[in-house]
Amino acid sequence: MGSDVSNVYIYLAGPISGCTGGEANHWRDVVCNELNKASPRLIGVSPLRCEPIIGSTYDTEYDDDRFGLPQVIAAKNYEDVKRCDVTLAYMPTLSIGTLQEIGWCKPLEKPVILISDLPEIRNNAVIKATVPWRFTYIDRGFQKAVEVIRGIYEVYA
């Protein structure tokens, strides 16, 4: 991955643990469609692309040394954040994993766009200091995020 003149990669961080497949994937599908409409060169990267649903919900730990162990999940997600150009973090609820992924972005010099309707997340001092774009879902958050991404990378996309 990584930015070149043809593609811009957007890591789609958000809640997974305890979510149904629909809850974890629907918003990612919506964002990928919006990105593709804005430019086919804007590519959403889902951390769920290789993780199975076990039972009715995603479990963040399961017995699979390729994708299910905590250290493996963290390593894969870190590599995704590192390789992508920007992280779009959606937090309809508090997500410790998503907060960790946001934390990885600062030392990697990766921009972050946060979408959350929760003021305790959006207005947290550390989030405010490290996340330049903070939108609410109810105020067209995904559309605004796509506009920012397109604006930043317009010369490439």
* Both structure tokens of 25: 């994937």
**Count of beta carbons in the 10 Å neighbourhood of residue 125:** 7
Give buried/exposed letters for 44-80 (b at 16+ CB in 10 A, else e).
Answer: bbbbbeebeeeeeebeeeeeeeeebeeeebeebbeeb
Express each pLDDT in 7-65 by its tens digit. 999 999 999 888 888 888 999 999 999 999 999 999 999 998 877 666 565 655 666 67
Q: Note whether 28 and 12 are within 8 A (CB).
A: yes
* pLDDT value of position 48: 87
* pLDDT value of position 19: 83
* pLDDT value of position 118: 96
Give the domain ranges of the chain. Answer: 8-153
Express each pLDDT in 75-116 by its tens digit. 999 999 999 999 999 999 999 999 999 999 999 999 999 999
* pLDDT value of position 3: 46
Q: Is the dihedral of CA 15, 10, 104, 111 positive or negative?
A: negative
Distance CA 115, CA 110 (A): 16
Q: How far apart are the first and last CA of the chain?
A: 14
Express each pLDDT in 108-144 by its tens digit. 999 999 999 999 999 999 999 999 999 999 889 999 9
* Both structure tokens of 52: 């199975």
Helix-, strand-, coil-residue percentages of the chain, each rounded to 5:
40, 15, 45
The CATH topology of domain 8-153 is Rossmann fold (3.40.50)
